[in-house]
Chains A and B, each alone.
Chain A
Amino acid sequence: MTATFELILCVMILGTACVALFVRDFLTAIAFFVVFGNLLGLAWLAMGAVNVALAEIAIGAGVTGVLLVLTRSRLLALGEEIACGPARPWLRLGAAAACSAFTTLLAAAVLSIAPGDDLAPVVDGLMPRIGLDNPVTGVLMAFRAYDTLLESFVLLGALVAVWSLAPPAAWPQPPVALRMADPAALNVAGSFGRLLLPVALVMAAYLVWVGSDRPGGAFQGGTVLAGGFLLAAMGGAIGLPRSDDPRLRWALVAGPLVFLAIGLAGAATGRFLAYPDGTAKALIVTIEYVLAFSIGVTLALLVAGPPARAGTGP
């Protein structure tokens, strides 16, 4: 029964991926990509990886989907077609052959690896030392906190990189307005956004809070927060900030900075990114809250794009 469900799920994942990749119309492609992301989320759920499922649906399908839709509409507004490039037949054939061969090899390699949660006992053995119950949060925020710290800087760096693309005259204007053009839609979205932003805030806080013991955490919480910000912005409930706004700057760096500071405090007393006995949970939750907030702001602005000259928009 489970096997059948999983088999069907996998076939659907592959099918939606195929459509998303090769369908001629790009809007259809995006739609299928979002479905694909959600199916992946289901797959993660089926594997019992609820943390990843949340992240995949929120970030992998959600944020990426929004990014693709927004970019598509920007390009269309500029009169650019996003056709399914007429690659030469021999190129297609060659690529298909090469990729099939590669896939076969990869599949063989995958098949010869025995699945197993061999590290789970190790993680479980260490969890009491940090006083959390969610082992994924344990790995992310303690055992491999270094990865997560650097990753938070990758996210911050991505926003800086996006900002660097601003046209010379546009700095430091806010990004292209996300406000909807159609008044009726704006009205609906506006009320929706006003309603949803507080809900998103609460939900994000909840996700971070449960993250220490059950599935959830800073990244998932941050994404929900970003979603709330974006919806509110689309409905005109909030305006997007100028990129040189000092409050915005502090909001962006707060998470990574607190993380780094607590890591360095650990170094002062013993080891970089080590939490003194008994304080682990409190410190991790602190980091996660601030980080979730910063991630929310960062993701929302990443979706909004670089500063733009007033009057340009989708």
Chain B
Amino acid sequence: MSIRLHAIGKHFGKTQALEPVDLDIAEGELVGLLGPSGSGKTTLLRIIAGLETADREPGGRILFGERDVTHLHVRDRRIGFVFQHYALFRHMTVFDNVAFGLTVMPRKQRPSSGEIRSRVHRLLEMVKLEHMAQRYPAQLSGGQQQRVSLARALALRPDVLLLDEPFGALDAKVRQELRRWLRHLHDELNFTSLFVTHDQEEALELSDRVVVMSDGRIEQIDTPDVLYRRPANRFVFEFLGDVNHLEGSVRNGVLTCGDARLAVDLADGPEELLLRPHEVELAEKPAAHAHMPVTVTAISPVGAEVRVELAADWLGEPWLATIRHADYERLALARGVRLYALPRHWHRFPAERDHQPSKTVATTS
């Protein structure tokens, strides 16, 4: 079931939580709503669910497939909703929690109790909790509770599954595990899913497409890959990963900042360039296009790459570079070592064109 939003906005009193937005989600897609807190992502999700009502003006519409649900009550929208803090019914067993949606159906549509039982057991099997059926939520771990919550949301075979920061309250390891498991489940059952997160890694890893939001606006909607490589604007770029800043003035194709110089193809004037950590190479000698002396202040060789913190007189804030372990060994890095930074790419988001596509330049070394 596809989801289409047209001109959906929301005010809370006088504050605008959400500017009127349009959004199309294809059937079977798994879409992440990403943004910092207060960006309107949860509001948007709750409006889609029917937990909040969109502003009357400018008369927005919400369509599930061909079904206009704009004025439909939450209970009639046939959605599954997973809450950040699980929101399990504490006085009911796991089984009763999962069965709840089925047992509150109008008598005519309600499946027989035998069928309810088998359906709930299938769901519990799916979330690997069949042996916990008679436990109370208070007796489960956070990860288990969230799985119950998911099973409960799926019990009614919803057209649309909405998840509000589903893994936000869990610790890192469980979060990782559940993420993968959700992706599996999604691929297997192929429902349309929309989830809210403030964790860019989670959004990029899990989603088919990501909707980046800030200040009640949608900044960009794209696949994780495009989003990362071609951020629509400075906000998206900065929000999606670590950023190194380079501020200076350009004269005759050379940007100067203290005793650092970088050849750029830009008009004269003040400039600010942005670089991802992996776009910064380290070398023992300056290159023709770049003379940027730095000192290593911290090294963290944990994970697939080595993170190196760099400081210099010409830098306001230290830079971060990620290099391969091989390079780390080759350069014999240690704290206090002086090196030269060689930008491979840089990005530029002119202030007056904040919402225009960025200019990304590759510099060849």
Mutual binders A and B: no
